[in-house]
Structure 1
Amino acid sequence: METGFTKWIIVVTVVLCVLLELIDTSIVNVALTQMMGNLSATQQEVSWVVAAYAIANVIVIPMTGFLAEQFGRRNYFLASVILFTLASIACGQSTNIWELVAFRFIQGVGGGALMATSQSILVDTFPPRQLALGQALFGMGVIIGPTIGPTLGGYIVDSSLGWPWIFYVNVPVGILASIFTFLFIRDPERIRNAIPTPLRRIDWAGIGLLIMGVGSLQYVLEQGETEDWFDSRIIVLFATLAAVGIIGFIWRELTAAKPIVDLRVLTKSRNLAVGAFLSFVLGFGLFASVFVLPIFTQRILGFSAAQTGLLLLPGALASGFMMPVIGKSLQNGVPQKLLLAMGFTIFFGFTFWMSAKISPTAGTSDFFWPLIVRGVGLGLIFLPITTMSLAGLQGKDAGQAAGLTGMIRQLGGSFGVAIVGTYLERGMASTRMGLLPNISLYNPETVQRIQAFTQNFINRGFPAAQARQQAYAALEGVLMKQVSIITYSQIFTTLGFFFLACLPLILLIKRVKAGEKIDLNAAH
């Protein structure tokens, strides 16, 4: 265990790396339109900037335990920081869309390792009595990163710097993290003494099936709505590859002598199995809520990217503030079940508060307290899930468990964004069809509204015929705004009921005693 100055230098290094990795999952979202113009890319092409990073992330995360043991955890972490930093520079220097996509994939390979390996380094840095604090610091990065990404990206895009700077801002932090990693981070004795697996005995089949299965699934989730889901042959093809790959991967990892990802660890701990599912739910709620709100504020309320990012910031800071408090509560013996039940209930309350606040006249003050509540709820969910999932596991088992829960949390986020995005598009079409019968030239209120719009445009100098056309367009605008309000409100309500439905799973959790050992010395 490290102490004093060295300990906190390591903490700052790994938390910064977690923030970098997760900020880059969302920072590009606010710059896609600018990228389309500068790189002459279509909407479908530019969506690959997001998809490539996510696909690389979800492939690498479960393999980090094996790779860290094979090459040494510090060496692997240092190489990943350098790879992430160089790829960030290359992304900013890209001259066409496919160069950018390729470098984003490489950046995702390095980034996935940063998140998964940081957790084990933090836990190894703290003594057993402070493990909850180590997990809390890691949780700060996981919760805050995706939320402040749009804030930082919005300021960069709205400034004169241009989209390449959303990648260049990674560089000084990456250089600093590389220096600190080289100087201060050390491998635990078990990893230093480990004998690397010979190349011929590496689970190449497992690696191939993991890449095919999880990579294809991530592609389907990222590109499904763009390609119109299963009406597209390419989506059907990748869905088939995902099914074959995942089934083959599960079979391979359960039967291989030295699996790349040891799925048998799930049978050794009921809490880990429950925690894996709850990690999926956490990822779903975290990424879905941070995905849908910026779309609403920018499309319907007319917020700028910077304003939207600033709106999300207080809630992220609330999560960061809660993490050490929750860590201390766990150290003092507060049951994970209680904290999780509080977190799920609070997040449920957030969704219904948001569904009530959604309106065409809403402002930043209307969303401030609901987003604070969201931050508190997510904080109460993340840390108990992590500690109860890993408690009691030793050595490699703890490392495999950390990688699995990390991958499943990322997949939960991808499912959340994909489902919410689909519901948003199709729900609006369905809601519009439901409202249309109320708008008719035989309806006196509709006629009065059109006459009022027409007269307004005539008063502004439009000819009568053109004023009439403008009136119809204005009426369509009013209709679509109402459709949007209803649909966004339904999304938050549905998200809340999903969390409420998962609440009974908490009853399956076995009580973890305060101070029960979490051994991540072999992890990642």
Structure 2
Amino acid sequence: MLLQQESLVEYGARRVIITITAILCALLEIVDTTIVNVALNEMRGNMGATLSEIGWVITAYAIGNVIIVPMTSWLSQQFGRRNYFAVSVVIFTISSFLCGNATSMWELVLFRFIQGLGGGALLVTSQTIITESYPPEKRGMAQAIYGLGVIIGPTLGPPLGGYIVDHYTWPYIFYINIPIGVVATLLTLQFVRSPKYGEKKSANEIDWLGIGFLALAVGSLQYVLERGQEDDWFNDTTILILGILAVMGIFFFIWRELVYKNPIVNVRVLSNGNLRVGTLLSFLMGFGLYGSTFIIPLYTQSLLGWTATQSGMLMIPAALTTAFMMPIIGKMLEKGIPQQYLVAAGMFLFFVFCFWGYKIITPDTGSEAFFWMLIVRGVGMGMLFIPITTLSLSTLKGKEIGEGAAFTGMMRQLGGSFGVALITTFVSRRNELHRMDLVSKLDTNNPDVMKRVAGATANFASKGMDTRRALGSAYQSLEYSVTKQATVMSYMDVFLYLGVLFLICVPFVMMVKGKKAAKLDPSAMH
């Protein structure tokens, strides 16, 4: 076994090329999860789609992504990791071209789903390829290099998408994938090697029922999370039916994988205590990473009136801070600092970032107020990703590591989906509560309220309005102020509750038993 592990270690220029190839592929996949967000309005206009329909551009990609991630270990064994990785890049690249050339809304949705199926493999398999290309003593650094793509990717999407939409047209957000995909495919076929696997399964041994239950479970769950708030959750028949199917799919999938001789996903690997904890922490990290990446641009664009490019650029310093932290954290792990201490510190810093956000956001917060708050977020995310990954996999051996990596990857994606769905719902519900509370305090007999209405009425009258229209406009202005203040208070609540969630987790993380990162042996990750 040792010889097989060592045979995948690369040196010199070859290792550099393999590392760059894997990072490019990881970035391709992650950037594409957020780059389309800023182009949705332009797509909607071009396609003549409704707001509800255009949301499927994001939903379809996420569903394809989350279905394929748990299956990457098995697919790598069936077809060989290099072949599977190269084919995934090709599928991703071709579907990117097709997305850019789509002529109807549902064509675009179909091609985005296919793109998600191709992209899902890129994350976990990139991690494996990078890790196995480095000798054991440098694998903490390998995780740091891979982590750059995972953490920075969601941040790069909005500014890059904003720039492309502002200067070109929306199809180019897909076309930029094509040259990178072609180069990555050629480099993969030339330089990446596959480990030797056991005997492939024949068609009648393949767990087709398990694949079906998995697709039903995670596909339905992803749909519910993506569309729940917009469709009024379980008051909508489709959401209710798919919610029931998701629960049933999860139950029957777990049952099938426990009793079948050749399971598509080895759920027994979750009997490992560290992996269970790491899987939960990956979910929480995805919740915080994607949730905060979602809420900040939403706040700056909807309340402060920033452009998509301005909102995206705001996140760049935090991304650079994370990039700076990654190799430092990698070195700290190699020197034997326990992962759980770094994870606890990262969670505390994430709490500081959230509490800072809670304190500074107002209806007119300036861009300079965000700088140091986001730097703290960058440091915190840098301290979370690599230690959580190494903690999750530190007590696994052989091909279990690949199976564990697939679980953590899937849970990170689902954590992001849960984060965005819950935050959207929370903001909407809290907004209603705060608005009702504020309106109840606007007593028409209150001199201050009447003084404000009178002042606004006089202001509108001075612009040529008659008295009746000026009074109506004054009340509309007051209504707008109430709505805006209620929304700000809702965002404040999001920051506060998200921060408290991370703070509560700190003592539990400290109780986890860990191993030194240098002992991590991700030789069979797929």
Compute the TM-score of the two structures, normalised by the length of structure 1. 0.97
8 A contact 1:80–1:110 mirrored in 2: yes
8 A contact 2:286–2:416 mirrored in 1: yes
**In 1, Cα distance between the equivalents of 2:336 and 2:378?**
23
Given residue 233 of structure 1, which amino acid in structure 2 is its aligned partner? T
Do residues 45 (structure 1) and 53 (structure 2) align? yes
Task: Report what 2:322 is aligned to.
Answer: 319
Deviations 1:174-202 (A, max 9, x none): 111111111111112x23xx321101001
Given residue 365 of structure 1, which amino acid in structure 2 is its aligned partner? E
Given residue 186 of structure 2, which amino acid in structure 1 is its aligned partner? I
Task: Report what 2:206 is aligned to.
Answer: 202
Deviations 1:284-323 (A, max 9, x none): 0001101111110001000000000000111111111111
8 A contact 1:14–1:122 mirrored in 2: yes
Do residues 162 (structure 1) and 169 (structure 2) align? yes
Decide which of 399, 412, 431 is 2:402's aligned counterpart. 399
**In 1, Cα distance between the equivalents of 2:76 and 2:305?**
46
Deviates more, 1:67-76 or 1:359-368: 359-368
1:123-162 matches, within 5 Å, as: 123-159=131-167, 161-162=168-169
Do residues 6 (structure 1) and 14 (structure 2) align? yes
Task: Report what 1:223 is aligned to.
Answer: 227
**In 2, Cα distance between the equivalents of 1:488 and 1:401?**
35
In structure 2, stretches of 5+ residues that fail to align are 1-8
Do residues 444 (structure 1) and 451 (structure 2) align? no
Task: Report what 2:107 is aligned to.
Answer: 99
**In 2, Cα distance between the equivalents of 1:346 and 1:233?**
41
**SS state of the match for residue 395, structure 1?**
coil
Given residue 156 of structure 1, which amino acid in structure 2 is its aligned partner? I
Given residue 255 of structure 2, which amino acid in structure 1 is its aligned partner? W
Give the deviation of 1:155 after TM superposition. Answer: 1.0
CA RMSD after TM alignment: 1.0
1:505-524 matches, within 5 Å, as: 505-521=508-524, 523-524=525-526
**SS state of the match for residue 333, structure 1?**
coil
Deviations 1:467-492 (A, max 9, x none): 11111111111111111111111100
In structure 1, stretches of 5+ residues that fail to align are none
**In 1, Cα distance between the equivalents of 2:522 and 2:386?**
16
Percent identity between matched residues is: 50
**In 2, Cα distance between the equivalents of 1:511 and 1:47?**
41
Deviates more, 1:387-396 or 1:230-239: 387-396
Give the deviation of 1:514 after TM superposition. Answer: 4.6
Task: Report what 1:368 is aligned to.
Answer: 371
Decide which of 226, 237, 240 is 1:236's aligned counterpart. 240
Give the deviation of 1:276 after TM superposition. Answer: 0.5
Deviates more, 1:494-503 or 1:100-109: 494-503
Give the deviation of 1:519 after TM superposition. Answer: 2.9
Give the deviation of 1:250 after TM superposition. Answer: 0.9
1:400-415 matches, within 5 Å, as: 400-415=403-418
Give the deviation of 1:20 after TM superposition. Answer: 0.9
**SS state of the match for residue 187, structure 1?**
coil
8 A contact 1:158–1:305 mirrored in 2: no
**In 2, Cα distance between the equivalents of 1:458 and 1:157?**
40
1:427-442 matches, within 5 Å, as: 427-442=430-445
Deviates more, 1:102-111 or 1:392-401: 392-401
Do residues 71 (structure 1) and 79 (structure 2) align? yes
Task: Report what 1:181 is aligned to.
Answer: 188
8 A contact 2:341–2:510 mirrored in 1: no
Task: Report what 2:37 is aligned to.
Answer: 29
**In 2, Cα distance between the equivalents of 1:410 and 1:514?**
24
Decide which of 303, 306, 313 is 1:303's aligned counterpart. 306
**In 2, Cα distance between the equivalents of 1:331 and 1:463?**
74
8 A contact 2:217–2:245 mirrored in 1: yes
Compute the TM-score of the two structures, normalised by the length of structure 2. 0.97
**SS state of the match for residue 448, structure 2?**
helix
Task: Report what 2:268 is aligned to.
Answer: 264
Given residue 413 of structure 2, which amino acid in structure 1 is its aligned partner? Q
Give the deviation of 1:231 after TM superposition. Answer: 0.4
8 A contact 1:58–1:214 mirrored in 2: yes
